[in-house]
Amino acid sequence: MKFPILSDIASTEVISVNIEDSTSKAIEQMLMHEHRHVVVIGENCNYIISIINILDLKEKKITLETPLSNLKLQEIPSINKNKNVLDAVEYLSDNVEYICVTNDDGSIYGILTHTDITSNIDPETLMENYRLQDFLTLGHKMKWVNKNEKISDLISDMVDSAYDNVIVVDDDLKPIGILTTKDIMMLIKTQTDLNVAVKAHMSMPVDSIHKNASIKEAVNFIKKKHYKRVIVVDDDGKLTGIISQKELISLTYSKWVILMKEYQEELCEINSLLLNQNKEYENMAFTDSLTGLYNRRKFSDLYLSSFLAFKQRHNEMSLIMLDIDHFKKVNDSYGHDVGDEVLVKVAHTLLKSFRNIDIVCRWGGEEFIALLPTASLDNATILAEKIRVHIEELEIDLVGHISASFGVAQVSEDDEMQKVINRADKALHLAKESGRNCVKTQNDI
């Protein structure tokens, strides 16, 4: 499930004023662009001024030439445009209607509203058996009034409760119209008498949706009608509740968050299993199952990377090959299980004897190979001799003592891997021909 990126859904046509501008300029911008809110750009943060704020000033008889910096405006949160919708939902609390979407440098990219979020909700993700009537208690923030109530009596209540609209009902509680703060602003601008019944200036008709409608149907309804709320009625057409965009978003994304959390937990578990399997498969592909040493394939890969570093740094590098003496006789006399025990003990001896930077590999059968970065031919020969002694000192059940023969070669910058191995192999054969249990180098060939 993929959530849309904020830069793709935010409204980039931002209507704004400066914090030092007057309130009257904010009103001009609202009316000119038919917006209920205007962004106020401050020095370190941004604010929002709404029609509710203007009505509050009128109630308190504060002059409209007052600078916006003198008003107590609501600060609006900011979020980077590269975040997704899910990152923004947590900001849309009861007191936050807008979010500033910012560029990487902190400048305003756009504004994110409930409408932007709702327009990008996929109703298919919702449970279709969720009905509006199950959530009507959420609509406590909406207000309805009788058609005969006076507009002048509503203003204080709308300011105190931050309502941006009221639903108008008749005497039978059937919704017949709506009055918004924008309507009131226009009445104030035209100096219309507000001491009249709401029905005189309400917008009508008003669309409603049945309480048995699903959340999916409600979201589609809002998208189609471009509304900010759904008015819910019963079988008789009477008002049973009002649910805002915000509450639908909360329902929708709560479900999405639950699903995403479940998916994330499942994916984490799957990824963990796959990671463990990949490590297991990698070990199987690159290590010898008996001794745990690298196999030929892995040795070739590591040789190439070591050779590249060797050429770049112009230092030294050597290679050692060794073969367990008379190993066929061990297998023939004691069986392959004992032969495997010999191979494992030799492998452990090699791991303890070589440095951490050395690359040790079972080359095949009873033959082993090691690459020694930064080691000269002389140093590699000294190490080979020490390992020869360690192997000779091993005591293995039934078999007793064993020995090994060694061939050492130095890597040069124009060498291919096989050429170095061939020189070490020739030195190893010389050690075999010289009576075994000894070390020979490419200089002895």
Tell me which residue of 383, 380, 275 sits closest to 317, measured CA to CA: 380
Instruction: Determine which one of 366, 393, 395, 413 is catalytic.
Output: 366
Matching residue, tokens 């070591």: 306
Whether the bond between 4 and the residue before it is cis, its omega within 30 degrees of 0, is no
Contact between 144 and 179 under an 8 Å Cβ cutoff? The reply is no
User: Which ranges of 369-444 would DSSP assign to H, the alpha helix?
Assistant: 377-393, 417-433
* Number of other residues whose CB lies within 10 A of the CB of residue 174: 15
Residues whose CB falls within 8 Å of the CB of residue 355, separated by 6 or more in sequence, listed in order: 372
Contact between 347 and 292 under an 8 Å Cβ cutoff? The reply is yes
Give phi and psi for 172, each to the nearest 5: -95, 15
For the record, the structure tokens of 192 come out as 């219309």
Q: Give residue 407's region: left, alpha or beta (phi > 0; psi -120 to 50).
A: beta
**H/E element, 49:** strand 46-50
Q: Are strands 359-364 and 367-373 parallel, antiparallel or unpaired?
A: antiparallel
**Sign for the pseudo-dihedral over CA of 353, 359, 363, 369:** negative
Write the DSSP string, 420-439: HHHHHHHHHHHHHHTTSSSE
Residue type at 291 in one-letter notation: T
For 169-175, the CB contacts below 8 A with 24+ separation are: 169/144, 169/145, 169/239, 170/146, 171/146, 171/147, 172/238, 173/238, 173/239, 174/233, 174/236, 174/237, 174/238, 174/239, 175/144, 175/206, 175/208, 175/231, 175/233, 175/239
Query: Could you confirm whether 366 is annotated as catalytic?
Result: yes
Distance CA 288, CA 286 (A): 7
Distance CA 74, CA 48 (A): 6
**Burial class of residue 210, CB neighbours in 10 A (0-12, 13-18, 19+):** middle
**Sign for the pseudo-dihedral over CA of 423, 429, 443, 391:** positive
For the record, the structure tokens of 129 come out as 């058996």
Enumerate the active-site residues: 366
